[in-house]
């Protein structure tokens, strides 16, 4: 068996040994260094740019401003075409819309020279009063996009005249009416903050002309094919003249699911005909790439005395910052991947606005809206249970979705448009919940235990769901090639950002072909050499790319059998992966493949497989937190976080576990420690690892991640997805645990020690 | 100006700018395992050993490397393979960007500490950031590695 | 930080005369904070060849060379407790192998942890030209303005304790306190806008302590508000005093 095996990642050892593998390792040593002059103002019109002094420096080879580049609008979002994000971005614009927005592109022969050149460029700005408060954006006088041609590819509620990047609403049943008939209605408002991905590799891209005079871009991107399309269309280069390669990436989590530096190096290389590269500084990664969407979520839930939830209403205000990439889709996921958890309601409504502000743009970040939605919804469920006098476990068991059920939301809410109806064929929430409670020791610990005078402990849980790819939109494909010596090349467009997808896909190919996984050599994410894949997002790689690999591998089996039949000159041939058999004769695949290359009926066996999902079966998870609150300092320590996951079959259990552990820690960071801070004029204060604090090893006391037995019939070998599900529960589970410990509901992230301390003081007073 | 230093046991003589930082000098000389992760000496990604001590190469002025012995992952491939065996057995090695720095830190830790507890390991490695793995997998691998290494000695 | 010229010397007099010859010259100790600064200076004087990285333990005092690193201090069991505790969570081991006590003290960083501990222990600073002055006086008067610190002298046999609050393990402290008892109580409070301050008292009852703390301005910034800092400081001082008292 090659699946459900924790084989080491195919690139694991090479990376530990420090082999050159990342974009900056592969860039030409003599590539021109590209840096961006960035706006110091949150909103301004560029009246004049004077680069004459900078251009006099002999080391400076190129300076580009908005008048030198295409003014075509595009969306930076790495999404399927036509994108559900507005086209509101230019390579360089006459207006700068946030502190850190690009003003000029400078390329030179050394880092020092280019840094000096940046200082010598004189820019005259007409400063405009910025919109900084997302709760005031719709009525603000300032328009972040003012008559600048921004538009959407199809209706998404885009209305820049009221600073709306996108807007959405849906209702099933009649929510207000149903709420009125309820015995109990809970209403609550929740806030989440912009969070930074903080991946260790800063965004990096390099460009050069190859020996066929084609523009080649090597970039740390999650979406190489989207990069090729967007660069080609915007710069008016035929796509056949561009190649995009994704090497190893040092982390992404959605933060590299967009265009970042690729335009700059493409333009510099096009003009100078020399290789160029851009390596974002850590500050630029914080200020000038993007963050998670900040949201305000209003939840109303109505239930009857017996605990039956009748109606849920969710109203969201989302802050997309200066540009709207991923604005509509993240908003919709906040509802689409949370509300179906309670599918037995009579009525459910979701609506939201995504507003522009003059702040660092927001974009894709693991969980993609579901984290924010889950925080509000799962906190609200606990509050509702409290009001009803029912415990939080019982209310969930009574109302949560189960196998062979569905929710109308699946067919109504999709990727910016309608979705796809879906019957849930695998859902082990019930079992996940039981296992989680047992591992947490819930019966003994719920709701709270006073440890000392000063320290109190509490436990809390939350359910979550996510998706597996985007049905009818995400396409993936694979090519398999048989080599002499009986091994295979597997070429996939799928993008491994360190997640191990190369490995998992190799395992699936190996299992189908009946060979050990080390016989499959994977090469991925090269727009010339690998077939198409939308890229690493929406938790699609295992499910969608996996299927395409299986198709290609099944076809390869057929091809091998066909070659075998020809070799034995008989129809009666079988194949077990290593050998072909015909009566008493055998030939190893190794020998047959060598014959096929050199001596007999020579032929290169190659197969392809493509796949588009017809559904997006959700992985499910129950997260349970045990926290200890120091009531004198407000410090919250997560003593134990239990995650019990149903992701269908775990193709590689170790890698699945690490995906969940990694996501948990990122979301614990969002829950307790991470926050973006701005000055009154919109300047980010803490754009460095010195001041933006992600959890360290010491904050993590114990993570307990396990998987329940589950099989998704529509999934490759029964698998669903596992990339994002780990992100969703920590904010709610921890907030619920704190509520149980202290009797105080924290409705704003992050729940820093000082914030908790203040709530405790407030609570004492009242 | 010119400096002479030993890198992974070989003597290197190279021209540097007076303000050059070791991470850039090392990368320029081909040691691509050494990476830059931040601007503020906060992440540990660039860790190397200088005269046996763990040091953030992004904040070490190259002119101070004169006469010193620098060690990068390229110079401890056998030990790295050993540590890597345990890390990859957990799946804990994810994007790999933090791996060389982590390996150097584990190596330095072994020079200083004997049979450290998990808490001591976490304290020693606290300055080596990882954003992918959630740390626990790294700790599982490193503790297993240390157990085997201790038993061997 | 950039400079045209970096002077490396084994001769302290040469280092000193180069340093004072140009009012814009800068000293390089660990180099960590120097690297973060964007400005250019005409000359940097590198202190790393002056053999100031020692820790000498004598009967009644410990002499810590200005170039002793925070990691050297962390791992030397003769260093007074508060000082060792104060460096344990400064960033990571790697940075502590570069950052020096001299750089921390002379940098007069308001967020410094070690300075608070040294202040509580009544550290004496020995400068090349000025001679020995107390850290307390140095922090108050900022004199000498331009001199080279040679060593920090701490008393042996004084009980001390350090406490701080950090959001995450390697973060800057929101507030820190250090307490030392040599007959009198010396309580230093730091990681506040303005740097560490000192309270001294012969004996302390809670209400006396609280009214002493009331006289201190804690300051609000993006890390924490002044009320929160004050609340933490009060708590930590009480705990530290209890801890030190219990050792006697």
* B49 in the same domain as B109: no
CA distance A247 to chain B (A): 11
A464 and A491 housed in the same domain: no
Beta strand extents in A516-618 (DSSP E only): 520-524, 574-575, 579-582, 585-588, 606-612
Cβ within 8 Å of residue C24, ≥6 positions away: C41, C42, C43
Give how far the C-alpha of residue A555 lies from the chain's centroid of Cα atoms, to the nearest Å: 32
CA–CA separation, C106 vs C41, rounded Å? 18
DSSP A543: I
Contact A693 C224 (CB under 8 A): no
A3: in domain: no
pLDDT exceeds cutoff 80 at C204: no
In this structure, are strands B53-56 and B69-71 parallel, antiparallel, or unpaired?
Answer: unpaired
- Going by C-alpha positions, the residue among A317, A293, A466, A463 that lies closest to residue A380 is A463
The predicted pLDDT at position A635 comes to 98
Residues B81 and B54 in one domain: no
Co-location of B46 and B7 in the same domain = yes
Question: How far is the alpha carbon of C212 from chain B, nearest alpha carbon, in Å?
Answer: 35
Query: Is A249's CB within 8 Å of B95's CB?
Result: yes
Tokens linked to A502: 């190369």
Instruction: State whether A298 and A409 are in the same domain.
Output: yes
Helix or strand or coil: residue A168? strand
β-pairing, B10-15 vs A703-707, is: unpaired
Are A658 and B92 within 8 A, CB to CB?
yes
Which chain C residues touch B109 with a CB distance below 8 Å?
93
Q: Does residue B92 sit in the same domain as residue B103?
A: yes
- C-alpha A458, offset from chain centre: 31
A546-568 and A501-513 helices, crossing angle to 10°? 30
Q: Which domain holds residue A377?
A: 294-470+615-765
- Which stretches does DSSP call E strand in C60-218? 61-65, 124-127, 131-134, 149-155, 159-165, 175-181, 185-190, 197-201
List chain A residues with CB under 8 Å of B77: 17
With cut-offs at 50, 70 and 90, classify the pLDDT of residue B111: very high
Q: Map out the domains of chain C with their CATH numbers.
A: 2-46 (no CATH), 55-155 (3.30.465.10), 160-247 (3.30.390.50)
For residue B21, the cross-strand partners are B61
Does A149 map to a domain? no
CB A672 within 8 Å of CB A628: no
Does one domain contain both A512 and A536?
Answer: yes
Q: Which pLDDT belongs to residue A501? A: 96
Q: Helix A370-388 vs helix A327-336: angle between axes, to the nearest 10 degrees?
A: 30
Residue range(s) defining the domain that contains residue B67: 2-72
pLDDT for C194 beyond 90: no
Q: Is A177 within the bounds of a domain?
A: no
User: Which stretches of chain A drop beneath a pLDDT of 70?
Assistant: none
CATH assignment of the domain containing A516:
3.30.365.10
Q: Hey, how many other C-beta atoms are within 10 angstroms of the C-beta on A551?
A: 21
Q: CB within 8 A of C214, min separation 6: which ones?
A: none
* Residue A188 pLDDT: 98
Residue C248 has pLDDT above 80, yes or no: no
Same domain, B94 and B136: yes
**pLDDT at residue number B151:** 84
Instruction: Show residues of chain B in contact with C76, CB under 8 Å.
Output: none
Q: Are A100 and A684 in contact (CB under 8 A)?
A: yes
Q: What is the per-residue pLDDT for C20?
A: 96
Task: For chain C, say whether A683 makes contact (Cβ under 8 Å).
Answer: no
Say how many domains are in chain B: 2
**pLDDT tens profile A675-693:** 999 999 999 999 999 999 9
Angle (CA) A713 A717 A720, round 5°: 65
Q: Which chains touch C (3 or more CB pairs under 8 A)?
A: A, B
Kindly list the strands in the beta sheet with A309-321, ordered across the sheet, starting from the edge strand earlier in the chain.
A164-172, A347-356, A309-321, A294-303, A184-192
DSSP A662: H
Q: What is the pLDDT of residue B149?
A: 87
- Overall number of domains in chain A: 3
Report the gap between the CA of A653 and the closest CA in chain B (Å).
9
Rounded Cα–Cα distance for residues B116 and C17 (Å): 46
Of B60, B112, B124, the CB nearest to C98: B60
Q: What is the ipTM of this complex?
A: 0.97
Interface of A with B in 245-264 (CB under 8 A): 248-251, 253
SS3 assignment, position A183: coil
Whether residue A346 is found in the same domain as residue A419: yes
Whether residue B147 sits in one domain with residue B85: yes
Average pLDDT over residues B127-138: 97
Element (H, E) at A549: helix A546-568
- Cβ contact, residue pair B59, C31, below 8 Å: yes
Residue-wise pLDDT for B30-74, tens only, equals: 999 999 999 999 999 999 999 999 999 999 999 999 999 999 999
Residue of B nearest to C6 (CA): B18
Residues A758 and A661 both lie in one domain? yes
Give the pLDDT confidence of C106-165 residue by residue, as tens digits.
Answer: 999 999 999 999 999 999 999 999 999 999 999 999 999 999 999 999 999 999 999 999
A15–chain B Cβ distance below 8 A for any pair: yes
In terms of phi and psi (left: phi > 0; alpha: psi -120 to 50; beta: otherwise), the region of A326 is left
Encode burial over A719-730: b for 16+ CB neighbours within 10 A, e otherwise: bbbbbbbbbbbb
Q: What pLDDT does A214 receive?
A: 97
* Sequence-distant (≥ 6) Cβ neighbours of residue A383 within 8 angstroms: A186, A188, A739, A745
DSSP-assigned beta bridge partners for residue A450: A456
Question: Does residue B120 belong to the interface with chain A, where contact is any CB pair within 8 Å?
Answer: no
Are the C-beta atoms of B103 and B76 separated by less than 8 Å? yes
């Amino acid at each position: 068996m090659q699946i459900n095996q924790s084989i080491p990642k195919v690139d694991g050892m090479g990376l530990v040994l420090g082999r050159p593998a990342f974009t900056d390792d592969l860039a030409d040593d003599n590539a021109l260094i590209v840096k961006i002059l960035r706006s110091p103002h949150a909103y301004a019109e560029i009246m004049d740019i004077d680069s004459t002094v900078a251009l006099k420096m002999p080391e400076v080879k190129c300076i580009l401003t908005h008048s030198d580049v295409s003014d075509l609008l595009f969306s930076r979002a790495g999404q399927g075409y036509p994108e559900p994000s507005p086209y509101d971005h230019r390579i360089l614009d006459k207006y700068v819309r946030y502190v850190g927005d690009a003003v000029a592109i400078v390329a030179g022969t050394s880092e020092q020279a280019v840094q000096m050149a940046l200082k010598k460029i004189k820019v005259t700005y007409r400063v405009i009063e910025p919109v900084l408060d997302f709760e005031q954006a719709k009525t603000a006088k300032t328009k972040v996009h003012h008559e600048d041609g921004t538009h959407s590819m199809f209706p998404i509620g885009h209305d820049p005249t009221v600073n709306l990047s996108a807007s959405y609403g849906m209702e099933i049943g009649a929510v207000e009416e149903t709420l009125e008939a309820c015995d109990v209605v809970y209403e609550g408002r929740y806030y989440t903050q912009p969070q930074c991905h903080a991946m260790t590799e800063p965004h990096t891209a390099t460009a050069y002309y190859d020996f066929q005079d084609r523009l080649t871009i090597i970039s740390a991107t999650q979406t190489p094919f989207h990069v090729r399309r967007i660069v080609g269309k915007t710069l008016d280069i035929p796509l056949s003249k561009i190649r995009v390669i994704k090497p190893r990436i040092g982390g992404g989590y959605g933060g590299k699911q967009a265009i970042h530096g690729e335009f700059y190096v493409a333009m510099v290389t096009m003009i100078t005909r020399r290789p160029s590269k851009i390596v974002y500084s850590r500050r630029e990664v914080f200020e000038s790439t993007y963050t998670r969407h900040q949201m305000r979520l209003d939840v109303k839930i109505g239930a009857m005395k017996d605990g039956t939830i009748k109606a849920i209403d969710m109203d969201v205000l989302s802050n997309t910052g200066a540009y709207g990439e991923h604005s509509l889709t993240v908003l919709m996921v906040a509802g689409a991947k949370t509300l179906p958890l309670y599918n037995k309601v009579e009525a459910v409504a979701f609506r939201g606005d995504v507003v522009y502000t003059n702040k660092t743009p927001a974009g894709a970040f693991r969980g993609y809206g579901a984290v924010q939605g889950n925080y509000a919804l799962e906190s609200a469920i606990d509050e509702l249970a409290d009001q009803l006098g029912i415990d939080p476990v019982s209310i969930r068991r009574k109302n949560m979705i189960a196998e062979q059920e569905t929710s109308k939301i699946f067919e109504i809410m999709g990727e910016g448009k309608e979705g796809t109806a879906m019957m849930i064929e695998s859902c082990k929430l019930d079992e996940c919940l039981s296992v989680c409670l047992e591992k947490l020791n819930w019966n003994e610990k719920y709701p709270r235990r006073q440890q000392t005078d000063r320290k109190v402990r509490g436990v809390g849980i939350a359910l979550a769901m996510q998706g597996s790819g985007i049905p009818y939109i995400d396409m993936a494909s694979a090519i398999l090639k048989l080599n002499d010596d009986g091994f295979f090349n597997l070429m996939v467009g799928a993008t491994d950002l360190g997640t191990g997808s190369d490995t998992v896909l190799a395992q699936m190919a190996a299992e189908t072909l009946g060979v050990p996984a080390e016989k499959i050599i994977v090469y991925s994410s090269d727009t010339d050499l690998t077939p198409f894949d939308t890229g690493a997002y929406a938790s699609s790689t295992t499910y969608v790319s996996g299927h395409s690999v299986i198709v290609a591998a099944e076809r390869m089996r057929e091809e091998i059998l066909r070659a075998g039949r020809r070799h034995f000159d008989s129809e009666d041939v079988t194949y077990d992966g290593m050998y072909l058999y015909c009566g008493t004769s055998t030939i190893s695949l190794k020998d047959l493949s060598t014959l096929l290359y050199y001596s007999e009926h020579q032929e290169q066996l190659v197969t392809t497989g493509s796949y588009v999902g017809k559904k997006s079966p959700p992985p499910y998870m129950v997260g349970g937190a045990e926290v200890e609150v120091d009531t004198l300092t407000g410090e919250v320590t997560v003593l134990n976080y239990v995650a019990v996951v149903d992701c269908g079959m775990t193709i590689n259990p170790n890698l699945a576990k690490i995906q969940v552990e990694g996501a948990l820690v990122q979301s614990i960071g969002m829950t307790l420690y991470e926050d973006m801070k701005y000055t009154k004029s919109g300047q980010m204060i803490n754009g460095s690892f010195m001041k933006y604090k992600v959890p360290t090893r010491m904050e993590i006391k114990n993570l307990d991640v396990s998987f329940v037995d589950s099989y998704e019939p529509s999934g490759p070998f029964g698998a669903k997805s596992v990339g994002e599900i780990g992100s969703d529960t920590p904010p709610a589970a921890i907030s619920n645990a704190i509520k149980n410990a202290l009797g105080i509901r924290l409705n704003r992230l992050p729940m820093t020690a000082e914030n908790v301390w203040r709530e405790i003081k407030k609570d004492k007073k009242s | 100006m010119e400096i002479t230093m030993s890198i992974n046991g070989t003597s290197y003589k190279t021209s540097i700018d007076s303000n050059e930082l070791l991470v850039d000098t090392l990368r320029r000389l081909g040691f691509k395992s050494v990476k830059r992760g931040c601007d503020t000496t906060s992440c540990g990604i660039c860790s190397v050993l200088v005269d046996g001590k763990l040091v953030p190469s992004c904040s070490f002025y190259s002119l101070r490397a004169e006469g010193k012995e620098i060690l990068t992952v390229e110079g401890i491939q056998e030990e790295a393979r050993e540590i890597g065996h345990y890390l990859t057995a957990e799946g804990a090695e994810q994007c790999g960007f933090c791996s060389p720095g982590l390996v150097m830190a584990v190596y330095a830790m072994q020079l200083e500490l004997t049979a450290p507890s998990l808490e001591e390991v976490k304290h020693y490695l606290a300055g080596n950031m990882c954003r992918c793995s959630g740390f626990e997998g790294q700790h599982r691998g490193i503790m297993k590695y240390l157990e085997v290494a201790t038993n061997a000695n | 930080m950039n400079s045209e010229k970096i002077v490396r010397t084994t001769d302290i007099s040469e280092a000193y005369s180069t340093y004072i010859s140009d009012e814009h010259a800068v000293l390089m100790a660990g180099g960590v904070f120097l690297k973060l600064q964007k400005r250019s200076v005409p000359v940097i004087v590198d202190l790393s060849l002056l053999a100031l990285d020692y820790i000498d333990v004598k009967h009644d005092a410990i002499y810590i060379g200005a170039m002793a690193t925070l990691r050297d201090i962390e791992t030397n069991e003769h260093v007074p407790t508060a000082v060792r505790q104060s460096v344990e969570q400064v960033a990571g081991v790697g940075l502590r192998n570069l950052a020096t006590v001299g750089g921390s003290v002379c940098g007069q960083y308001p967020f410094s942890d070690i300075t608070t501990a040294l202040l509580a222990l009544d550290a004496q600073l020995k400068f090349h030209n000025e001679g020995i002055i107390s850290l307390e006086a140095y922090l108050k008067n900022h004199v000498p303005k331009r001199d080279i610190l040679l060593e920090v002298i701490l008393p042996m046999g004084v009980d001390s304790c350090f406490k701080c609050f950090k959001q995450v393990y390697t973060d800057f402290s929101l507030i820190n306190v250090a307490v030392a008892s040599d007959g009198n109580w010396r309580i230093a409070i730091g990681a506040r806008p303005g740097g560490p301050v000192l309270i001294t008292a012969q004996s302390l009852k809670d209400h006396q302590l609280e009214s002493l703390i009331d006289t201190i301005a804690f300051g609000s910034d993006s890390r924490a508000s002044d009320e929160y800092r004050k609340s933490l400081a009060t708590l930590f001082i009480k705990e530290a005093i209890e801890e030190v008292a219990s050792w006697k």
